[in-house]
């Protein structure tokens, strides 16, 4: 054995081991090796173990290990390798373990491992490798494979042994589908339809259904519809992508997650969720003010300005992680999940999880705390109004409108409660099952965007129809009273006329 580890060796030259033909073990780890000359290990025909870990090697050529036919253990981990010749390992017919972890590898050429039928353990974690069909062809006896992405396991070879492929757990996707749960595969289409069509109808019907509402409520509710509509667009992007990649998603996972469309979808979902929360808060505040001061009128400039500010805040929070700030914590922020949204709902910490925790858990908790407080004030005013028979018609109208808002708020809060609870559990290291994570991301988060327009549009339509029926009923009663009065007058005139004629 020769141990040259932890020195300052920078290059391995041809002939350095000329007198070491019987050498079995060579340790060169923890040096500064940048270059290995071709055929540098030519004379090590009996070498059994070679450790080149923790150096600065960037390239593995065809001739680096070509003569090491008896080599069984090769460690190249913790280097800077980004390119490996397609046949660099073709002569390593006895190799048992190969460690290429913690390098800068992006892909392997097709046939990269041909000839390595003896390889049983392969370590590729902490690279940036994307999955390619056939990348592991030739590894017929592989028993253990460790990688960074579940999608690489989709390309695992047809080994004669039971192959254990270790990768970070993916809570949503599978090798076949972007969304692995069949129920969610179907549900996402219905929710997307409701979120888009429902909010379009809400916007179209705004003039007729909300003509009696205040300007502030009208503007805030319309903006809420737009925010919820964006969630529908996001869901359609995910659903269509899932459909396009059905049966082969594992091989498209890397390219999809790092695509512009995925980033755009993630930004849409974040803008939608944060804008929706802010506008529900604004509607709640507006209802509290309207009930307490039914004759007050909110300044139109203030209403429009606060709406614009809400959009600026939501957009800024969504775009900030993708700005060219060169902050490592935001690297691939929206590419860390197949559904392109970075929610902190897993104990497996991903880049930017602190930011997600602050926004989706911390900020939204404060927003909904304000909403709940506002609803208690509304409830108090409703109870007080119920005991006050002298309440004005305008005040009663505002209270009726506030009751509609309550249903919207309750559904929003119920949707965010499981997200908040799951986020806090994972923050303290308590993991949740993959099924719960998938349901929260695909179903729970966007469902309020589909329900909101149904709640405040249909209830408004029903309320207006109720008003019309009451109005029509009152008009009909007035007509009947007038008819009865006319009948009495006619009868009275007839009696008078008869009495006059009899007198004459």
Please, what are the domains in the chain?
Answer: 1-168 (3.80.10.10), 182-470 (1.20.1070.10)
> At 239, is the pLDDT very low, low, confident or very high (cuts 50, 70, 90)?
very high
User: What's residue 328's pLDDT?
Assistant: 59
Considering only 61-65, 156-160, 255-259, 465-469, which range has the smallest mean pLDDT? 465-469
How far is residue 233's CA from residue 228's CA, in Å, rounded to a whole number? Answer: 9
Considering only 99-113, 183-197, 206-220, 443-457, which range has the smallest mean pLDDT? 206-220
User: What's residue 420's pLDDT?
Assistant: 74
> At 361, is the pLDDT very low, low, confident or very high (cuts 50, 70, 90)?
confident
How far is residue 412's CA from residue 281's CA, in Å, rounded to a whole number? Answer: 11
User: Quick check: 494 pLDDT over 70?
Assistant: no
Calculate the alpha carbon distances from 279 to 140, 218, 282, 375 in Å.
58, 11, 5, 14
| 345-349, Cβ contacts within 8 angstroms, sequence gap of 24 or more | 345/171, 345/419, 345/422, 345/423, 345/426, 345/432, 345/437, 345/440, 345/441, 346/169, 346/171, 346/426, 346/431, 346/432, 346/437, 347/426, 347/429, 347/430, 347/431, 348/168, 348/169
User: What's residue 397's pLDDT?
Assistant: 55
User: Quick check: 22 pLDDT over 80?
Assistant: yes
Question: In degrees rounded to 5, what are phi and psi of residue 91?
Answer: -95, 0
User: Quick check: 80 pLDDT over 70?
Assistant: yes
Structure tokens, 344 = 């902190």
204 vs 27, more confident: 27
User: Quick check: 441 pLDDT over 60?
Assistant: yes
Considering only 33-42, 60-69, 210-219, 242-251, which range has the smallest mean pLDDT? 210-219
* Percent of the chain whose predicted confidence (pLDDT) is above 70: 76
What is the distance in angstroms between the CA of the first residue and the CA of the last residue of the chain?
150
| Of residues 305, 303, 283, 286, the one with CA closest to residue 228 | 283
Place of tokens 């090590």: 44
Find out whether 89 and 68 touch, Cβ atoms under 8 Å: no
User: What's residue 232's pLDDT?
Assistant: 92
How far is residue 146's CA from residue 168's CA, in Å, rounded to a whole number? Answer: 9
- The pairing of strands 49-51 and 25-27 is parallel
Beta bridge partners of 363: none
Radius of gyration of the chain (CA): 35
Neighbouring CB atoms inside 10 A of 503's CB total 6
Kindly state the average pLDDT of the residues 419-445: 72
User: Quick check: 389 pLDDT over 60?
Assistant: no
Kindly state the average pLDDT of the residues 112-136: 87
Kindly state the average pLDDT of the residues 473-502: 61
User: Quick check: 429 pLDDT over 80?
Assistant: no
Supply angle C-alpha 379, 383, 387, rounded to 5: 165
Helices and strands counted in the chain (H then E): 13, 12
Beta bridge partners of 424: none
| Of residues 122, 342, 339, 357, the one with CA closest to residue 240 | 339
How far is residue 103's CA from residue 350's CA, in Å, rounded to a whole number? Answer: 19
| Report for 129-143, 156-170, 262-276: range of highest mean pLDDT | 262-276
User: What's residue 270's pLDDT?
Assistant: 92
Kindly state the average pLDDT of the residues 469-487: 59
Supply angle C-alpha 141, 144, 147, rounded to 5: 125
Beta bridge partners of 49: 25, 73
User: What's residue 49's pLDDT?
Assistant: 95
User: Quick check: 45 pLDDT over 70?
Assistant: yes
User: Quick check: 322 pLDDT over 60?
Assistant: yes
Beta bridge partners of 123: 99, 146
User: What's residue 275's pLDDT?
Assistant: 93
User: Quick check: 242 pLDDT over 90?
Assistant: yes
pLDDT, tens digit (0-9, with 9 covering 90-100), for 294-320? 666 667 888 899 999 999 999 999 999
User: Quick check: 400 pLDDT over 70?
Assistant: no
How far is residue 328's CA from residue 330's CA, in Å, rounded to a whole number? Answer: 5
- Cα 433 to the center of its chain, rounded Å: 17
Supply angle C-alpha 311, 241, 108, rounded to 5: 115
How far is residue 306's CA from residue 311's CA, in Å, rounded to a whole number? Answer: 9
Considering only 121-135, 243-257, 376-390, which range has the smallest mean pLDDT? 376-390
Place of tokens 């350095």: 16
* Percent of the chain whose predicted confidence (pLDDT) is above 90: 29
User: What's residue 234's pLDDT?
Assistant: 94
- Find the helix or strand (DSSP H, E) in which 35 lies: strand 35-36
29 vs 112, more confident: 29
């Amino acid at each position: 054995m020769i141990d040259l580890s932890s020195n300052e060796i920078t290059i391995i030259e041809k002939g350095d081991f000329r007198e070491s033909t019987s050498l079995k073990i060579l340790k060169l780890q923890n040096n500064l090796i940048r270059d290995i000359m071709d055929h540098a290990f030519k004379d090590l025909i009996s070498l059994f173990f070679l450790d080149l870990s923790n150096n600065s090697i960037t390239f593995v050529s065809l001739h680096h290990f070509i003569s090491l036919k008896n080599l069984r253990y090769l460690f190249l981990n913790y280097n800077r390798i980004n390119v490996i010749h397609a046949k660099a390992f073709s002569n390593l017919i006895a190799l048992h373990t190969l460690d290429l972890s913690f390098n800068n590898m992006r892909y392997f050429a097709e046939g990269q491992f041909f000839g390595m039928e003896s390889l049983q353990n392969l370590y590729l974690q902490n690279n940036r490798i994307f999955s390619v069909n056939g990348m592991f062809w030739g590894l017929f006896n592989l028993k253990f494979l460790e990688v960074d992405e579940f999608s690489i396991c989709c390309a695992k070879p047809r080994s004669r042994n039971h192959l254990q492929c270790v990768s970070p757990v993916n809570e949503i996707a599978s090798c076949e589908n972007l969304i692995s749960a069949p129920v969610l595969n179907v549900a996402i289409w219905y929710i997307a339809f409701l979120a888009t069509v429902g909010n379009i109808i809400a916007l179209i019907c705004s003039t007729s259904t909300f003509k009696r509402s205040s300007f502030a409520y009208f503007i805030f509710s319309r903006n809420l519809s737009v925010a919820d509509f964006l969630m529908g667009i996001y869901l359609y992007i995910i659903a269509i992508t899932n459909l396009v990649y059905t049966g082969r998603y594992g091989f498209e996972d890397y390219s999809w997650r790092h695509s512009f469309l995925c980033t755009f979808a993630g930004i849409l979902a974040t803008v939608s969720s944060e804008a929706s929360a802010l506008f529900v808060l604004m509607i709640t505040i507006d209802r509290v003010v309207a009930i307490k001061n039914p004759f007050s009128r909110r300044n139109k400039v203030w209403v429009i300005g606060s709406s614009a500010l809400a959009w600026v805040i939501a957009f800024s929070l969504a775009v900030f992680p993708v700005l060219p700030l060169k902050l490592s914590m935001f690297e691939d922020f929206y590419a860390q999940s197949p559904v392109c949204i970075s929610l902190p709902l897993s104990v497996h910490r991903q880049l930017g999880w602190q930011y997600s925790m602050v926004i989706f858990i911390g900020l939204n908790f404060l927003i909904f705390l304000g909403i709940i407080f506002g609803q208690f004030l509304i409830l108090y005013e409703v109870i007080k109004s119920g005991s006050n028979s002298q309440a004005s018609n305008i005040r009663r109208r505002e209270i009726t409108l506030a009751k509609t808002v309550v249903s919207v708020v309750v559904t929003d809060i119920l949707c965010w409660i499981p997200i908040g609870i799951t986020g806090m559990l994972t923050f303290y290291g308590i993991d949740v099952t993959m099924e719960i994570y998938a349901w929260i991301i695909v179903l729970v988060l966007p469902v309020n965007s589909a329900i909101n327009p149904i709640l405040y549009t249909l209830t408004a339509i029903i309320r207006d129809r109720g008003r019309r029926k009451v109005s029509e009923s009152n008009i009909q009663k007035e007509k009947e009273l007038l008819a009865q009065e006319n009948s009495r007058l006619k009868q009275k005139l007839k009696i008078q006329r008869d009495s006059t004629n009899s007198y004459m």
